[in-house]
Amino acid sequence: MARWGMVIDAKKCIGCWACTMACIEEHFLPPNILWNRVLIGESGKYPSVVKEMYPVLCNHCKDAVCVEVCPTGATFKREDGIVVIDYDKCMGCRYCLIACPYQQRTPYKDDKAEYFPGQGLTQFEILGKEIYPFQTGTVVKCSFCVERIEEGQKRGLKPGVDRDATPACVNICPVQARIFGDLDNPYSNVAKLIKERKGYQMHPEFGTDPSVYYLD
């Protein structure tokens, strides 16, 4: 069984936020809900200042504390390493939100929110409520586009290689800063990059063993 993970090349990222927009479109995310973000900052002193960009998302940790603290089993880790949420079991206690050291969970509180307040729902929002409804009072997060992975594999496609079986944020990146693949396969694209370019996890001191690695 594969253990899916992602490698993000921070040097390639141009901060275009295409990953964020693709994620919103793929999952019909409501207003104020972002599963993919890009942290932008600067280092150094004038005139040698470097702009730094770090895309962040759920790390789908191997030792996920969100799974440990969930009292209903709503948050669980699949055999392929993807951490998902059963929203029918989520009671909105927010233990996972508090426990996540990466701050990658968001409470869904307002099902009346509109992208353009006072102007009514857009066709995008109406369609989202029909085919990708969110449940008020639950906590939501990135799912590694698990639906794409599952449907693609049913068709014999390979995640990280075939677009229809790969997360939307990876597909959309114009500079190919995101790479998806099997972390447990030493010959996979992600495993080779991590080894050759000394890929690192964000805040390894948390002890969660994230499935998202970065390259500098």
Look up the CATH number of the domain holding residue 15: 3.30.70.20
Q: Residue 198: which of 185, 211, 182, 215 has the closest Cα?
A: 215
Average pLDDT over residues 62-78: 97
- Confidence label for 146 from pLDDT (cuts 50, 70 and 90): very high
Buried b (16+ CB within 10 A) or exposed e, 98-119: ebbbbebbbebeeeeeeeeeee
Domain count for the chain, please give it: 1
Average pLDDT over residues 22-40: 95
Considering the chain, what percentage of its residues have pLDDT values greater than 70?
Answer: 100
pLDDT over 90 at 35, yes or no: yes
Alpha-carbon span 147 to 130, nearest angstrom: 17
Q: Look up the domain containing 183 and give its range.
A: 4-215
Burial (Cβ within 10 Å: 0-12, 13-18, ≥19) of residue 202: middle
Average pLDDT over residues 160-171: 97
pLDDT over 90 at 128, yes or no: yes
- Confidence label for 1 from pLDDT (cuts 50, 70 and 90): confident
**ω into residue 47 within 30 of 0, thus cis?**
yes
- DSSP for 105-135? -EE---TT--SSTTS---HHHHHHHHHSPPP
For residue 95, what are the contacts with CB-CB under 8 A and spacing of at least 6?
69, 70, 71
- Confidence label for 51 from pLDDT (cuts 50, 70 and 90): confident
With tokens 């079991």, the residue in question is: 89
For residue 189, what are the contacts with CB-CB under 8 A and spacing of at least 6?
7, 160, 161, 179, 181
Instruction: Name the token pair of 85.
Output: 């949420």
- H/E segment holding residue 104: none
Q: What is the mean pLDDT of the chain?
A: 95
pTM score: 0.93
Looking at residue 30, its pLDDT comes to 94
Average pLDDT over residues 171-182: 97
Looking at residue 50, its pLDDT comes to 87
pLDDT over 90 at 130, yes or no: yes
> What pairing do the DSSP bridges indicate for beta strands 139-140 and 106-107?
antiparallel
Instruction: Name the token pair of 183.
Output: 């972390």
- Amino acid identity of residue 8, one-letter, is I
